[in-house]
Amino acid sequence: MRSSRLLILAAVVLALGTWIYLYERKMPTTEEARQQADKVLPKLDRDQVTALEITNKHGHFRLEKHDGTWRLVQPIQGPADDGAVGALLSQLVNLKAERTFAKGEVDPKLYGLDTPPMKVELTTKDGKTFKLEVGTKTALGSNRAVTRGDGKILLCAGWFANDLGKDLDAWRSHSVVDVSPSKVASLDIRSGEDHIKVVRDGRLWRLLDPIKDLADRRHVEDLITDINGIRIKEFLDAKADLGALGLDHPERTVTIVRTNGAKPVELEFGKTREVNGAKQVACRSNGKDLFWVNDKGQVRLGKAPVLWRSPVLYPFDSWDVDHLEISAGGKTVTLDRSGGVWKLADGSEADGSAVLSRLSKLSQMKATDFDLVTTSTPEIGRITLVLSPSSTAEGKEKKAAEGPKVTFVFRKPFARKGHKALVTVSARDTVMGVPLDEAESLFRDLDALKKAKPTPTPEPVKKTAKQPDAQPAR
């Protein structure tokens, strides 16, 4: 009998535990339940909202979420301002009722709910809808009365009405394009007869036109950042006069190809005007949308084509180097980095600071001349480095990829006085010139790369019984 009772009790305990685990633990606490009860839209989850319909004194607007991005659907079609939509959703999700009147308890006319000046309807992924009609400001304070369609009238703080009452211009995105340097595969810029084309090559940028060479990485990536910062100052009608805007024959055309394979973005820039002391440029996006924009990036776009090539011999970061060889005067020092420690070929530890100092000097060395004549003058020295694969690969490729190997060869000038050392880099098809003293400094005192052995501290002289203490001088 006892065993059967124990089995029954065990089953009850198991069932109770299962209920607590599956249901009760998911139920809101008393405090959470109280907070939910105070909310105007207690079951609204902002992340589940896929559509918004807004009516206010400026008109009727419909916005829809596609692939994580909000777009205007009515009265026009185009990108929406994600920040504006997000701000409104946050206001509505956190909107709390300060007082609630039951159906018929008060006259809706007293709060402007007979003809509400603002309405909003939200639709979620599962097809649920949440509606709010918003009345006028109350006589005292800035409170607003709202109704959800259930007959009840709720009084709440009216701050949300500022976000709900925006006009068309405020709902439209003021960004011309959303790009970042890491997401751009190529840039094509045309200005009159000038043509500049750069393409991504791992962590580097290569200039394909007007000459083939390494492009100035900082200039390219700063330009992309500037383009991303272009903001619309005035939207124009699609039928605006292109000639008056200088867009019938654009001053510049920029084509951006993104790494994700999305449709390229084409931006045309025309005439410039000044508004309140700030310059604005006429712009057409993808051959249809017209606006006046700020002049962000126009200075960099106007840089002479020949100045787009990289002045740095080969751009790299010192901490990306895994292997280094420096040869000069018949002597070669080979170093490898393992676990952040530089070691010589014999396994002894190198002077890490001295190694990084020399690498930093090489990484910042700039050419003063390009396309010089190839010569067979004696070598000053050569440096070979192998970069970490993490500097050129991403994701799973990091483990399998081999880092690029780059060799710098420095040669003496034709005549020492006033001439530049000649340098070639395996990754570039040009002979460059650099100051001779800078080139020679890379190869001076290669023994300094070895870690100096600490000088042993001499042991103190021990006193013996036969050694008298020293007498003070008289």
Residue 416's pLDDT is 63
d(CA 26, CA 39): 19
Residue 396's pLDDT is 42
Whether the Cβ atoms of residue 414 and residue 375 lie closer than 8 Å to each other = yes
Residue 459's pLDDT is 66
Residue 96's pLDDT is 93
**What letter represents residue 145's amino acid?**
A
Residue 397's pLDDT is 43
Whether the Cβ atoms of residue 313 and residue 408 lie closer than 8 Å to each other = yes
d(CA 397, CA 222): 27
**What letter represents residue 267's amino acid?**
L
Residue 254's pLDDT is 97
- In sequence order, which residues have a C-beta less than 8 Å from that of residue 460 and are 6 or more positions away? none
Whether the Cβ atoms of residue 137 and residue 144 lie closer than 8 Å to each other = yes
- Both tokens of 428, joined, read 């570039």
Long-range contacts of 134-137 (CB under 8 A, 24+ apart): 134/161, 134/164, 135/108, 135/111, 136/111, 136/112
Residue 432's pLDDT is 95
Q: How many CB atoms lie within 10 A of CB 290?
A: 22
The domains of the chain, with CATH numbers, are 30-171 (2.60.40), 181-306 (no CATH), 318-449 (2.60.40)
**What letter represents residue 236's amino acid?**
L
Low-confidence ranges of the chain (pLDDT < 50): 1, 26-33, 391-400, 473-474
Residue 35's pLDDT is 52
d(CA 268, CA 289): 10
- In three-state form (DSSP H/G/I as H, E/B as E, the rest C), the secondary structure along the chain is CHHHHHHHHHHHHHHHHHHHHHCHHHCCCHHHHHHHHHECCCCCCHHHEEEEEEEECCEEEEEEEECCEEEEEECCCEEECHHHHHHHHHHHHCCEEEEEECCCCCCHHHHCCCCCCEEEEEEECCCCEEEEEEEEECCCCCCEEEECCCCCEEEECCCHHHHHCCCHHHHECCECCCCCHHHEEEEEEEECCEEEEEEEECCEEEEEECCCEEECHHHHHHHHHHHHCCEEEEEECCCCCHHHHCCCCCCEEEEEEECCCCCCEEEEEEEEEEECCEEEEEEEECCCEEEEEECCCHHHHCCCHHHHECCECCCCCHHHEEEEEEEECCEEEEEEEECCEEEECCCCEECHHHHHHHHHHHHHCECCECCCCCCCCCEEEEEEEEECHHHCCCCCHHHHCCCCEEEEEEECCCCCCCCEEEEEECCCCCEEEEEHHHHHHCCCCHHHHECCCCCCCCCCCCCCCCCCCCCCCC
